[in-house]
Structures are given as C-alpha cells and as structure tokens.
Amino acid sequence: MSFIVDAVYFIAAILFILGLKQMSSPVTARRGIIWAGVGMVLATLITYFHSEINHNYLWMTLAIGLGGAIAWATGKKVAMTDMPQMIALYNGMGGGSAAAIAAVVLMQQKEMSVTLQILAVFGALIGTIAFSGSMIAFAKLQGLMRKTYRFSGQQRVNLGVFLVIFIISLYLAFSGTSYGMTILGIFFVLALIFGIMMTVPIGGADMPVVISLYNAFTGLAVGLEGYVLGNPAMMIAGIVVGSAGTLLTQLMAKAMNRPITNVLFSNFGDAPSGDAEEVAGSMKEIDANDVAVMMAFAEKVVIIPGYGMAVAQAQHKVWEMSKLLQDRGVAVKFAIHPVAGRMPGHMNVLLAEAGVPYDIIYDLDEINEEFNTADVALVIGANDVVNPAARTDTNSPIYGMPILNADYAKHAVVIKRGKGTGFSGIENQLFFADNTRMLYGDGAAAVSELIVGIKEL
C-alpha cells in the first residue's frame, strides 16, 4: 500500500506543477486551477491510506469538512475587490499549517538526524512568520488596520528579536531531544511577534510585494516540512510555490524599483530625506459628454485600470465602452502596471472576468512606447502607477519606480471619486498637468455616462 500512496502523491505533485504552469497564462489559467485542484483532491484522499495516520479518520474528516465548508462559503461570497485580502488570509493559513506540522514534529521530540531537525526548525520559523505577517497584511487590506506603525530604532529592535529567535533556533536544531516545551513555546511566540513587527511598518501601497513575499515563505515552509515528513507531494508543491513566489517577489520589487534587500530589511514606502516637490497648477474638471466626443473621434485610446475600477466593479462597463469605440474604428488597448491594484495580476483577473480579449491587454514594457501616439489615455482609479513624480522628484517615496507614461498621451482623462491622494498618500502630478482633465465620480457611473455619450454621437 505504501507504494500506491507514494505513487499517488507523485501524480498529485505532477498535477500541481502542470497546473501552475497553466496558470502562467490567462488563456489556460482556468484549466490550470482545475488540474491543481484535482491533484489536491488526490493527495487528500490517498492520505487516508497512509501508514502513519493511526486511525485518526474522524479528526481528518472533521478538519477537511470544516475547512472546506468555510472556504466554499467565503469563496462564493467574496467580492473581486476583496480578493487580495482573501489571498493574504489563505496564504497565512498555509504558512500557519506548515508551522503547526513543525510544532507537532518538534513536540514529539523523536530522534531525527541533524539535517531533519534543522529543516523542521527552519520550516517552523518561516511558516510562523508568514502566518502572522499575512494576518497583518489582511488587516491592512481589509481596512481593520489603517495606520502604519513606526518608531525610532524599529529596525534595530526587529534585528534584536530576530537574533534571539536565531539563537533559540540553533539550540532547537542541535540539541537533539533535550529541549523543553517552554523554550519551544518561546520560539513560536517570538516568531509570531517578529512576523507582526516585520509587517506593521509597511505601507498599503507595497502590499503586492508583501503578499508575494509571504507566499514564497509559505511555499518554502511547506516544502521543508514535506521533506521532514518524507511526503513527496508536500515537497514538490512547496518547492514550486516557494520558487514561484520568490520570482514573483523579484518581479514586483523590480516593478517598484526596489532591491530585494530593501524589501526584506527596510521599511517599505519610506520617503527619502528632503521635501517633495510642490505640485504646480490645478485640477481641471471635464464633462462626460466632452470625454465621450474626445474618445469617439480618437484614433487610439489607451485605458489604464486601477484599484478604483475594482472598487466600482466597473470592468464590465469599461469593456462595453471599449467595444463601442472599436465599432467606430478606434484602436483600444489596455495598459497594466505590474503592481496595479492590491495584488499581482489583480487587474488582469478583473478584465478577464469582463471578457476583455487577452491580445489587447499589455504590460508596462509592451505599451509604454505607445503613449506618445495615443490620443487619449483614460485612467480609471489608478494613482501611483501613473504619477510622473516617480521620474522627476528625487524626494518622492516612489522616485525611480517605473510608471505608465499616461502624461505622454495627447490627452489624459482621469476618472476619480474625489480630489484626495491615492493609497500611498502621495499627490499625483499627472492630475495637475496641462493635458489632463478630471472626470469626477464613481467609476461605473462615470463610464456609464461615457457609454451614453458615445451612443448619442
């Protein structure tokens, strides 16, 4: 039976890999999710026949049933705007599960090789950090924690806490079975605290990097504990998720012009020393009918979606408007910044949900050169990713971050609910530019007005 169990675990792992590969493209993402889901079902069911289950079938079934019911109910109810915090929450659950597995292994105090002992402790550490850090990320995204908590010498305190954890980790890893439950409890409590302290200074605008970073932590923790347990499905799934999360973190850091060392060891979103440039000019409002005329008689329109579009659930209206423009011979393209929204790929998911074809959706590097030839750049709820201060203001917190060149278009139109700053709290120079006009209102309502205006022409 053990051979069959291992074989099914291996098949499940292959399905995980193939599923993740399919998820790399919007065209095959749905198929990839199904394949990975089938792999997870196989891995779960075959575990009932594992030799070390010790007839704990009732507890297994209760856990699976309860967890599955909660996930099903919340997954059906969650709005697309709340998807980032749901992912942060579930990612934290994955890290917490890996830490819980490590806790059980370490509490049993069985004789293990030094290598397994080290891996168990390391998996426990990063899994616990991923759990508590992800909970803070969830709280920030959900609006339960609106402040960014920082104090003088915070990084030194964090370093001190980590050094204590590191010393305890060495003791647990090399002491065999001589450690007590008290020191093990202190280890987990400090790891939880460190995950919180590591995340509370982080500003909301940097949450995409945080989510992908903790995703990498969770995958690595699961892979390590899978190795400790000798479970190939956990090993392969954890390694694949960990490596994918690491690559995604690097891409997000590059998109925000942050080195990985800055992401790991510095307060995210810290402003450089000095005063930011004062914004000259004023915001100039425009009527929806005038925008409709401007776009209807344009040759090329580039649409830049942001979190405001997600909040307004305007993606279906945006696509309806785009089709009207295409029917009039206007070339319509969508420009997606890597960190637009609250998680990687947020805007791509929303546009795919609305049925926008993949071949008119472009990443930053693919579309930026085209703004020079665009008649209209329509910004819907985006802020920092189109802020020219990233190019010109060396004292801006986002200086050096690659942005979408909306200000290079002949006309820029910004749909925005009000005159306030974006999620990062930085004033946007684009809104005050001579070629920019502001269309105030809810995203869906404003686009509906544009649709009416285009139809009347």
Q: Which residues are catalytic, by number? A: 384
**Nearest residue to 85 via CA among 144, 32, 129, 37:** 144
Q: CA 359, CA 204: separation in Å to the nearest integer?
A: 31
Distance, CA of 97 to chain centre: 20
HEC string of the chain?
Answer: CHHHHHHHHHHHHHHHHHHHHHCCCCCCHHHHHHHHHHHHHHHHHHHCCCCCCCCCHHHHHHHHHHHHHHHHHHHHHCCHHHHHHHHHHHHHHHHHHHHHHHHHHHHHCCCCCHHHHHHHHHHHHHHHHHHHHHHHHHHHHHCCCCCCCCCCCHHHHHHHHHHHHHHHHHHHHHCCCCCCHHHHHHHHHHHHHHHHHHHCCCCHHHHHHHHHHHHHHHHHHHHHHHHHHCCHHHHHHHHHHHHHHHHHHHHHHHHCCCCHHHHHHCCCCCCCCCCCCCCCCCCCECCHHHHHHHHHCCCEEEEEECHHHHHHCCHHHHHHHHHHHHHCCCEEEEEECCCCCCCCCHHHHHHHHHCCCHHHEEEHHHHHHHHHHCCEEEEECCCHHHCCHHHHCCCCCCCCCCCCCHHHCCEEEEEECCCCCCCCCCCCHHHHCCCEEEEECCHHHHHHHHHHHHHHC
- Separation CA 6–CA 164 (nearest Å): 39
Which residue type occupies 235?
M
Whether the CB-CB separation of 201 and 154 falls below 8 Å is answered with yes
For residues 15 and 35, is the Cβ–Cβ distance under 8 A? Answer: yes
Classify each residue of 110-120 as buried b or exposed e, where b means 16 or more C-beta atoms within 10 Å of its C-beta: eebeeebbbbb
